[in-house]
Structure 1
């Protein structure tokens, strides 16, 4: 048996007799498997056998069947059935209960081919299943009966509880090791061996400690998603959620400070990170404090959602997302009533408002339009001193994705101007143009490599049928016949790609198909042959 299969067996996710035949999905995802789809792309069947899947949901299987029936193109139907359940099929590494409280559900989700749990990735991986998230028949928060074990809601609760534990333990960190209860060994991260980080962290609990504002936002997003679908406020008062929210607010609050005090003195950063590396995006300038910033009301982020270092630390899309979900999560606090600390909800709403004011004042910048006129757009990063990065990165939160996470409507005029620039090589240095796929990439993989994730977001933010169809065709031809979404694809050669097993991108593709099924069903009735 392969090592990962052994660990899944020990975790109780695969019965002993069946584990012998379960492949390592890292290898499985790199090969083609019959039956192939009947279209011109002959896409592989990429799902593991039911007995080898890490979470089986009859609700998700029904949704797959019903939605696939509405997709006319055989390649598109296969790509949907491969990608949408990928997190459930392959990435639920362990589920169980806390050793200190048997009522507290825990769930450890890996990103795919990296054996660690990112706050951002795990939140987005579960967001794919919002369409089937509903309250359990007997809410464990309001009953003495045991919580249901095999529902999508139980999976959400398990991830929320584990993320809360992580944030209470190391709120500046982004990726974490399996909990002790799982019996899984911590994963090695050779890249972090030379890291010098303040505040320090425990490597037995933390896989990597890059401070990313979107990681804090992702926890609030996941919490708000669960609450909006289930109205189960009581759950959030039972375990560590309120302590985690306090940690999030304190961490973000500390990162609103500018570099200089009123007398010009240098104010020490609450977070410092250096790494011995040959890649500039893997460490921070100024001895780990990052580029100087002026206090703006926004929150600094040392790293982007790509895990690359920021150029200017006020990462606008991360601030947008954090502001949006601070306000949404405040409704959970209100729902807890006197079980929540007095004034906490109001603090969250006020913090959200300050960030929005900062984004509007400093994050919207003038650019020269194609006809020589001056127009305003959102910058990707700013420093408050007038410097701005005019670009976008494929990873969410991005400027392109601002309507997807609900910061603004896709009809917003500043957003529309920004979007036009981001989707052109003239307006975005990381827009990759080519014969195979045209889309946004980023410095994480480098020039020439477009990310399917950004193309999916492009569809989610478009009302133009022609644009949607064009981008769908490119995505269909981008998988190298493997039938899965890759991290990045050479814009001129779809056989050159990175990451064979990237569960977040797979789930996001499935989300996009569900969105089209309800928003533009006629597109799914088209042939892409």
Structure 2
């Protein structure tokens, strides 16, 4: 989405390479409070590194942050935007350069924050926050260059290890590989090299993320030449091959024999969500559904049933839109047709298997059952009825464009259930309390609400009372740090996880820009 108000706030883009030798470690820096504090009730810390310590300096974003102060009345809300929106540019552009064998091939290594590795999903979404700033540019000091660099590096990763989700820095960066102690006991097929892979959990949304960032860049620039110049086309074919392989059922439809799984994952762990059942194959899946398996969720937790509906939604959506890029490249119409056909078949499969009948939520007197989207299904008639805070989620289906509008009736029934745990048949992972009320998940566990889910709640609502309430809880629940945490205890704002979660910070800023377009009057209110 492009924002007309935002466009009036922007000026020319300038990149200033920082000098990092004397800069504090942001993992530690972001856990302490720094003056000047905001003048509101919560006295939020100023958390931006000094300009010389930022990993990417942009005059455009500085202009946007300064000018938006006239649209936001509350000092704590403004400080939270001021800290969070530029967080990826300030702290997470770990390296930006070119390929060793092609000086025209830009590469961008973006860490997720407090983990020194690049997730396909996170890096795509971290740049998604700056989509309103993306303009066509051949300069290697532009937002466009960051996008091209991420697309090129993700393509390299997918051609190396398409089943993996998180990767080490490219060799050109001379950044040593990060150590993942949890992965030391992993038994994974296909095998991978820890020199290039940080962790190899197969997640369908990781494949979708590559298509997502590709679509975003193309929609803003219409630069088809870029996509035909490097490794994008082979990477798309790797994505298609991987996803189609993961439609393999557990049993042969012909004789019931157990089929080899294209991917298996086993880990020695005390957490059930960190490994797959059945010797690394995961729970059985049925044949002929048309859905694509996902061994792990966007949270990096293992799926209960491998047909993860939000991931299939996201994959279908961006596979179809990325087909427009292939269509614009000479000689690639057959690839584009294959992408559109596969996307359409997945949509049909979601409608057939992902929409289920469940007991009505709450104490409805007019009906006892209702049709909703399941979170996961297995193709044998079983389903998981819940939602998880991590994106893609069922709650976020309109945000990533699978649904054209949040008014879709099946989505509205699903949304009501997701945001309800007090009534019978509600979401088991919706956390309630005096501090924050939001979806959580098994990744951190019961009682821990995710502000990211509150942000998505705002993005999918037109109800100003609902938006105000969710936004007020976010502002009040940063424990004075002024950053968006991964999760917050719904009864104690002082108990939280991951203050340096760059994607969540950027998503908060993205939401503020969305409200600037849709509901600017809310930004004029007090959140004290």
Tell me the CA shift for residue 263 of structure 1.
1.1
1:292 aligns to 2:284 (yes or no)? yes
For 2:83, the equivalent position in structure 1 comes to: 82
Match of 2:267 among 275, 281, 288: 275
Q: CA contact under 8 A between 1:13 and 1:94: conserved in structure 2?
A: no
Match of 2:420 among 414, 420, 424: 424
Q: Which runs of 5+ in 2 are unaligned?
A: 1-15
Comparing 261-270 with 28-37, greater Cα deviation is found at: 261-270
Q: In 1, Cα distance between the equivalents of 2:135 and 2:219?
A: 10
Q: In 2, Cα distance between the equivalents of 1:103 and 1:321?
A: 31
1:120 aligns to 2:83 (yes or no)? no
For 1:315, the equivalent position in structure 2 comes to: 308
Q: Which runs of 5+ in 1 are unaligned?
A: 1-11, 137-146
1:394 aligns to 2:398 (yes or no)? no
For 1:489, the equivalent position in structure 2 comes to: 488
For 2:330, the equivalent position in structure 1 comes to: 337
**SS, match of residue 194 in structure 2:** coil
1:169 aligns to 2:160 (yes or no)? yes
Q: CA contact under 8 A between 2:18 and 2:51: conserved in structure 1?
A: no
Q: How does 1:188-337 map to 2 (within 5 A)?
A: 188-261=179-252, 262-295=254-287, 296-337=289-330
Q: Deviations over 1:169-217 (max 9, x none)?
A: 0000000000000000000000000000000001100000000000000
**SS, match of residue 193 in structure 1:** helix
- Report the TM-score when normalising by structure 1: 0.94
Root-mean-square deviation over aligned CA pairs: 1.0
Q: In 1, Cα distance between the equivalents of 2:172 and 2:501?
A: 26
Q: How does 1:431-510 map to 2 (within 5 A)?
A: 431-510=430-509
Between the two proteins, the alignment pairs up a number of residues equal to: 503
Q: In 1, Cα distance between the equivalents of 2:70 and 2:200?
A: 44
Q: CA contact under 8 A between 2:18 and 2:56: conserved in structure 1?
A: no
Q: In 2, Cα distance between the equivalents of 1:77 and 1:69?
A: 10
Q: In 1, Cα distance between the equivalents of 2:174 and 2:148?
A: 20
Q: CA contact under 8 A between 2:109 and 2:118: conserved in structure 1?
A: yes
For 2:379, the equivalent position in structure 1 comes to: 384
- Report the TM-score when normalising by structure 2: 0.94
Tell me the CA shift for residue 67 of structure 1.
1.7
1:352 aligns to 2:343 (yes or no)? yes
Q: How does 1:28-43 map to 2 (within 5 A)?
A: 28-43=29-44
1:14 aligns to 2:9 (yes or no)? no
Q: How does 1:174-185 map to 2 (within 5 A)?
A: 174-185=165-176
Q: In 2, Cα distance between the equivalents of 1:58 and 1:228?
A: 23
Q: In 1, Cα distance between the equivalents of 2:67 and 2:412?
A: 34
Tell me the CA shift for residue 149 of structure 1.
1.7
Tell me the CA shift for residue 14 of structure 1.
3.5
Q: Deviations over 1:363-404 (max 9, x none)?
A: 011112132521100000000111100000000000000000
Q: CA contact under 8 A between 2:355 and 2:373: conserved in structure 1?
A: yes
**SS, match of residue 518 in structure 1:** helix
Q: Deviations over 1:409-460 (max 9, x none)?
A: 2000000000000001041000000010000000000000000000000000
Q: In 2, Cα distance between the equivalents of 1:33 and 1:271?
A: 47
Tell me the CA shift for residue 355 of structure 1.
0.5
Tell me the CA shift for residue 13 of structure 1.
5.1
Q: CA contact under 8 A between 1:67 and 1:517: conserved in structure 2?
A: no
For 1:139, the equivalent position in structure 2 comes to: none
Tell me the CA shift for residue 337 of structure 1.
2.2
**SS, match of residue 291 in structure 1:** coil
